[in-house]
Amino acid sequence: MTDSDLKQRQKYIRNLSIVAHIDHGKSTIADRILEMTDTVSKREMENQVLDDMDIERERGITIKLNAVELKYHAQDGHTYTFHLIDTPGHVDFSYEVSRSLAACEGALLVVDAAQGVQAQTMANAYLAVDNDLEIVPVINKIDLPSADVDNVKTEIADMIGIDATNAVLTSAKNGTGIAELLERIVTDIPAPKGDLNKPLKALIFDSVYDSYRGVVLSVRIFDGQVKIGDKIKLMSNGKEFEVTEVGVMSPKAVPRQFLAVGDVGYITASIKSVQDTRVGDTITAAERPTDHALAGYRKITPMVYSGMYPVDNAKFEDLRDALEKLQLNDASLEYEPETSQALGFGFRVGFLGLLHMDVIQERLEREFNLDLIMTAPSVNYKIITNNGTMQVIDNPSQMPEPSDIKEIQEPIVRAEIMVPKDYVGAVMELSERKRGQFQTMDYLDNYHVNVIYKLPLAEIIYDFFDSLKSSTHGFASLDYSISGYEAAKMVKMDILLNKEPVDALSFIVHEDFAYERGREIVQKLKHIIPRQQFEVAIQAAIGNKIVARSTVKAYRKDVTGPLYGGDQTRKNKLLDKQKRGKKRMKEVGKVTVPQAAFMAVLQMGDDDLKKK
């Protein structure tokens, strides 16, 4: 291709993301677009092609962003190349959203025609505005009987401040409006800027580890071009590599001769060490480097931390290796080694939220074949000691002696809860119960209210979202960000099994809830810890003071005992189940403790428990 061909080519590129509140239909819209542009044949079409991780399919949610190249023959007679980047909608993954937006010129803002604008619709729309993207409003699910397009248009205008008169109306379910949407991508979203003749400047917006090809970098080319054999340099560390392959995802990897300005694709360069690449870094040409790196990404700090231990201690190095590879794919993941008296060698891992934690645990177990024990998640605390030092702890076992502590500060979030006005009372009641401090309340239109609370992060990460959903019949949506630290009367609760404190079971709790939680947890553990050949005493203690106790009676019996003789299949099933369960057990001292025990603190306040 000549230079002038390449310049022409740039005019016909459109890079876009799809953003929306969870479940408003981003992935389904992406599927329809792939189908209509014949990127994926009908036969190959599986639902939600872009959600290629098993976990994503099973849960029906998008976790990782995915970039796909497709060709569209527009009504103006030209063939356009779209790079479509699907993004997750759950609040835990908003970091992924900002990463993909930095690679685009435009965004489709998808809003459910029945549900209307929700908290993440607004949050994602603002992210798109911050990234100077052209926003195309799309009202989806117009096939639903409860769809109210006019109302949603008004909401988009009043609540987000974007004119929605010409919003594209779609039903991703039956394909209505997708043809118009494709045209609007061509007419409304600008072609990428950037200069073909300038030195290579590319943004790494994602990366994965492939055991054959090494690190595979997902990139957006902002200036210049790159081809096989080129020497590239990573600007954050100066490391140089020779390019071994470039290509695009369509939706599977398709090698190309080159990637040029405006393109979104992948690069491999025999990068074997996972540590060398960082998402957000700029790639340039080794021999003719660019002067300025791209702005990159803000560093993301985890919200919750949990200990992760291999059930089999010999698998510690495997776990390290797996975390290293996952981190490459998920820049928000943080970890460092820690040891627990009870659980041995493991890692303290930081997550963006509990869903993120769940997903990481599942990926480690499935993709890396590891059996893991995870300890109860905790936020981090700032501890100011009597001699004036400050330390940040993310593990209850690091808590200094109470006599040395002058003050404990906990992370506070500013939570924006959007609800129809009839539910404001329910939201306030819940927030007050969770130690919230009311800030303000804004009417977004005649019907929606944005209620703003300061809330302790520790209260919000557990079951706040679920409680919010149930107390508002699913109408509330939530967005939050850390706003600072405030002093709080927190205490460390130790759990003792047969008088021995088990470090991995201790947790930090507010003084006002301490007794109640202590009682709840020993009751819960009594049901979780199986009977053993000896009696197990369970105690909850603050310092030297025992606040609650319970006992698991001694008992040893063949689990298949109660079954009637004949039914062998059922017996085998039960034995199998018991075997699988064993994989997630840990010997703590002499006591066998199942995984569920370490998570019991999460279920505190559970209604089920109260009923027991």
The CB-of-86 to ligand GTP minimum distance in angstroms stands at 7
**Cα 499 to Cα 430: distance, rounded to the nearest angstrom:** 37
Kindly tell me which of 251 and 436 has the beta carbon lying closer to ligand GTP. 251
Burial class (CB in 10 A: 0-12, 13-18, 19+), 165: exposed
CB 370, CB 318: distance < 8 Å: yes
The CB-of-475 to ligand GTP minimum distance in angstroms stands at 17
Task: For 62-74, give one letter per residue: b (16+ CB within 10 A) or e.
Answer: bbbbbbbbbebee
Kindly tell me which of 87 and 603 has the beta carbon lying closer to ligand GTP. 87
Annotated binding site for GTP: 23-28, 140-143
Applying CB under 6 A, which part among 20-28, 200-208, 220-228, 391-399 lies near ligand GTP? 20-28
Among 15, 62, 277, 340, binds ligand GTP (CB under 6 A): 62
Looking from the CA of 347 toward its CB, the CA atoms found within 13 Å total 21
Q: Where are the alpha helices (DSSP H) in 407-451?
A: 424-433
List the beta strands (DSSP E) in 32-105.
Answer: 66-73, 79-86
**Helical packing angle, 178-188 and 26-36, nearest 10°:** 90
**Cα 133 to Cα 138: distance, rounded to the nearest angstrom:** 15
The CB-of-174 to ligand GTP minimum distance in angstroms stands at 7
Q: Is 60 in the site for ligand GTP (CB under 6 A)?
A: yes
Residue nearest to ligand GTP (CB): 89
Closest by alpha carbon to 421, among 468, 466, 464, 475?
475
Q: Is 27 in the site for ligand GTP (CB under 6 A)?
A: yes
The CB-of-93 to ligand GTP minimum distance in angstroms stands at 8
Applying CB under 6 A, which part among 58-66, 191-199, 330-338, 417-425 lies near ligand GTP? 58-66
CB 17, CB 87: distance < 8 Å: yes
Kindly tell me which of 83 and 586 has the beta carbon lying closer to ligand GTP. 83
Annotated binding site: 23-28, 140-143
Instruction: Note if the bond before 251 is cis, omega within 30 degrees.
Output: yes
Distances (CA, A) of 259 to 188, 204, 541, 607: 24, 14, 62, 56
Q: Is 55 in the site for ligand GTP (CB under 6 A)?
A: no
The CB-of-410 to ligand GTP minimum distance in angstroms stands at 30
The CB-of-140 to ligand GTP minimum distance in angstroms stands at 5
Q: Is 68 in the site for ligand GTP (CB under 6 A)?
A: no
Q: Is 66 in the site for ligand GTP (CB under 6 A)?
A: no
Tokens, residue 96: 């992924």
Q: Is 26 in the site for ligand GTP (CB under 6 A)?
A: yes
Q: Is 25 in the site for ligand GTP (CB under 6 A)?
A: yes
Q: How many helices (H) and strands (E) does the chain have?
A: 16, 33
Kindly tell me which of 164 and 505 has the beta carbon lying closer to ligand GTP. 164
Tokens, residue 441: 């309340």
Kindly tell me which of 49 and 540 has the beta carbon lying closer to ligand GTP. 49
- Taking CB under 6 A as the criterion, which residues in 72-131 touch ligand GTP? 88-89
Closest by alpha carbon to 110, among 141, 139, 149, 153?
139
Kindly tell me which of 176 and 439 has the beta carbon lying closer to ligand GTP. 176
Q: Is 214 in the site for ligand GTP (CB under 6 A)?
A: no
Applying CB under 6 A, which part among 54-62, 158-166, 281-289, 500-508 lies near ligand GTP? 54-62
CB 227, CB 258: distance < 8 Å: yes
CB 29, CB 172: distance < 8 Å: yes
The SS3 call for residue 3 is helix
- Taking CB under 6 A as the criterion, which residues in 361-390 touch ligand GTP? none
CB 11, CB 101: distance < 8 Å: no
Number of residues counted as binding ligand GTP (CB under 6 A):
20
Kindly tell me which of 60 and 337 has the beta carbon lying closer to ligand GTP. 60
Q: Is 277 in the site for ligand GTP (CB under 6 A)?
A: no
Kindly tell me which of 175 and 484 has the beta carbon lying closer to ligand GTP. 175
- Taking CB under 6 A as the criterion, which residues in 125-184 touch ligand GTP? 140-141, 143-144, 171-173
CB 523, CB 612: distance < 8 Å: yes
The CB-of-468 to ligand GTP minimum distance in angstroms stands at 18
Among 17, 28, 306, 523, binds ligand GTP (CB under 6 A): 28
Tokens, residue 426: 């329910």
The CB-of-473 to ligand GTP minimum distance in angstroms stands at 19
The CB-of-21 to ligand GTP minimum distance in angstroms stands at 7
Kindly tell me which of 47 and 339 has the beta carbon lying closer to ligand GTP. 47
Kindly tell me which of 115 and 277 has the beta carbon lying closer to ligand GTP. 115
Kindly tell me which of 60 and 255 has the beta carbon lying closer to ligand GTP. 60
- Taking CB under 6 A as the criterion, which residues in 496-515 touch ligand GTP? none
Q: What are phi and psi of 367, to 5 degrees?
A: -80, -25
- 50 contacts: CB under 8 Å, gap ≥ 6: 27, 30, 31, 34, 62, 66, 68, 86, 251
Among 6, 7, 9, 23, binds ligand GTP (CB under 6 A): 23
The CB-of-31 to ligand GTP minimum distance in angstroms stands at 8
Burial class (CB in 10 A: 0-12, 13-18, 19+), 262: buried
The CB-of-223 to ligand GTP minimum distance in angstroms stands at 32
**Cα 389 to Cα 90: distance, rounded to the nearest angstrom:** 38
Kindly tell me which of 176 and 471 has the beta carbon lying closer to ligand GTP. 176
The CB-of-25 to ligand GTP minimum distance in angstroms stands at 3
**Cα 498 to Cα 510: distance, rounded to the nearest angstrom:** 25
Among 13, 19, 22, 152, binds ligand GTP (CB under 6 A): 22
> Which residues contact ligand GTP (rule: CB under 6 A)?
20, 22-28, 60-62, 88-89, 140-141, 143-144, 171-173
